[in-house]
Structure 1
């Protein structure tokens, strides 16, 4: 069972009763507490950020918060968490935001460490787009940091949150204070000094965020971009966020953004290609060695062992990777993607070059990676002939155990490296070469054909209905009550179930008057949940629950009578007319 609600949560719930159902606390920061709640009218999850009561008690801070939050609520951008409303309820000052299912960039870094550069650049670029839009509308965020960048689960989209302390336009001299607002570690020098700031201050904060996201793994391009972002003087930074977006474009090699599900499938496809190349090279070399060595006593059983190894690789590791690829293909189809979408990514000019860990490092490996396939085939043929001659010489030359082992290792490693490079060239994830097209055609036919077997389009679950959420919350709270309380209010679960069922029927009704009855039903359920929360926290008594339970029963009786009357009227209207014979 979750921790009991705090007194501040109960007070907030009482203040917004009828509009929002506060479910739980999401997090705390220097500027307030964020709660997960449900918008009762629109039947959707939202996040409510509450200004601390101590700050809300100061009229100037309260008015400034409301004015800036209202201005920020006008921002509408796919990479900005939307603010739905800014509200005052007595001593409570809050704004209601869209709820993003996922985690913050700060949580991601704490969980998995620094990001790969390609992913970090994508996130920074999306944040820069959002800041460019905000700056065009005269809004400076003033608190750009990893904890205020949300990463949406599934899509990977980055959204900037918490514009609640943003500066809108120029601050009047009367509102400039020596104290600063924001997070010191990410503030620009001019913001820390309490001086005049503009959009370039946000770019400084974004540069510090980039340092946290990338750690010490910086390419020369990204290092130059970050150094310009965090320049001490604003004039030495990028003049605006649009310029930063252009530089990040260049740092990414101007590759178009790829949807995360397709990128995941392409990475699996690359991994399978690399593994097939490596296994094929090893198997071919070992089989050739075993065939060459059958004339010697130690090599007579080698061919059987190699065949067993090949079968193990094909049926074990290969099958495992293939199943992973089929699973990713099925996920792609669930999301509406097709093989054509994957082909479009593989056909991009830069897709074959991976800037990550797969890049070869030694000069020899770099030359092999750049060499065309026909050169590698020619070199491979010559090397094969030399290798056969070397094997025969190795078999007939007198040598010691150590020298023989070293020669055998050398004669194994060189052809494996060459063959792997050839196969990797032929099977690389691109459709520009004839062999690459053939390999993709085989993989497309097998992977997606198997993925389609018995496949049905996944049904995207709708957001949980408000009556379901309220009913589940009330039932859970009631189940945690002491035995004597549950005995006294034994009829409460049945009343909650009845109201929940009635709310579902009212929601499905085409009658416009049903909306008003639905609001009344949801309000009765919410009142019961509030009373149970109060009992749990010790802030309300059983008398309140008794009164609200009686009221809920009356609502249930009235709604049930209304629904039964409408059902009976519908049956009468649908009944066939009976004609009376004329005498």
Structure 2
């Protein structure tokens, strides 16, 4: 067939080799002669082209896909019939399929999997907007270009929703392992069927496994219809909970319980990616190296001091001097090193408020790397796991214990004191760093502290309470932000386990009451977060006015009093949350 087909397209295409075979055709790599470019040609075998029904379906596939124009959809260049050959030419993608990537390297890191799924969701959202349902979303049809672009291929059994009678008459078309329950039953499908399939793709990308497998296709289809999909968190526990919940919602058996569309899913995944912004180099260097007392110098220093102490005592003929040398070497020198590193970060334009954000980002990043190492290629630990040392090693393999310890160290009172001392030795002209990695409250708080530090000493004395008020507002806003995220997740959980159409009115009423209570608390927390941020913004603006000569200390003192009231109100609410949780 290769030679016959090459003879038929000679002068237009030069076939190079076969790329693969699928249920609806053979794919060849070829060169388009006129434009001198590589293309992939999908050919319907002549034995099937003679069947009018299959021939029509194949042409419908090509014409449907050719109408789609999106950065994440492989474009169709031409649809042709030459003699007994029916084929179309599409762009050739240099890369690999998602199936090949996962089989070769194991599950994707959560950030990479989120990006891939987001791009596929964008493509599906566009196609659905054009009235096109893919019907065969699976890793084999998702191509990962070497440049990093994600492309959806093979709208091979897609149909135009309007007038798609040929594919809504009870035919079961698709790949069983990725079919939605309604598709497996041969029912009419819509875009939510593609969402279910994309959910299984996500399950595969995050975990490296499929939820349903069996020797026979009919057994897989039966499981798709009757068995609930295991929660992603149970098979891939290190996937962030919010991402796992997004995939779980796509896999609801009832299509009404799935997300409203792929665009909604893309927004959720995009939000998760935006939260993982890269930190500036200075902060990355600090959390990885400068914040820690490690390295060869730390190992050698105790031995150096053991040698230096008796030498100092002998030279001065004083035991006291030797003792002071020993104590100073073990306390003042390490303190001096840490203060100098804090001063270096301050000179780069960062402050103590940035440390918590930086350590959290570092811990999240290493959690992904450790999850990959443990699950794929991490090997087994052959030393005494039962011993204390073995347990510590296993703990370090699962968690970045060092980062967690130093994070608590630097974000605590002692770390704040070290930055306070370092600030006394810092240039007053330090350039503020980019604020893109900071939550709004930390960016405003740091700006206010920098403005305060540049005020005359007498003015700072009058406003001596300002740093404590700003710091308290920062902490309160962060507590409210964390609580808001918890409530959003709780509402998502309740929605996922909702009871639409339940025959028991009492259960339905209880469900509605829970949703109403959670929504009310979410709105209150959101308002408190706005109040804290607004108070910080007011303090910053009044400090700017004070610098410009249009503001007064008295006005700023009044605003500080109002800010303290906001902080007290938020603290009371946080305490109320704590008491309720303890009671429950």
Q: TM-score under structure 1 normalisation? A: 0.50
Greater C-alpha Rg: 1
Larger RCO: 1 or 2 (CA < 8 Å, sep 6+): 1
Q: TM-score under structure 2 normalisation? A: 0.50
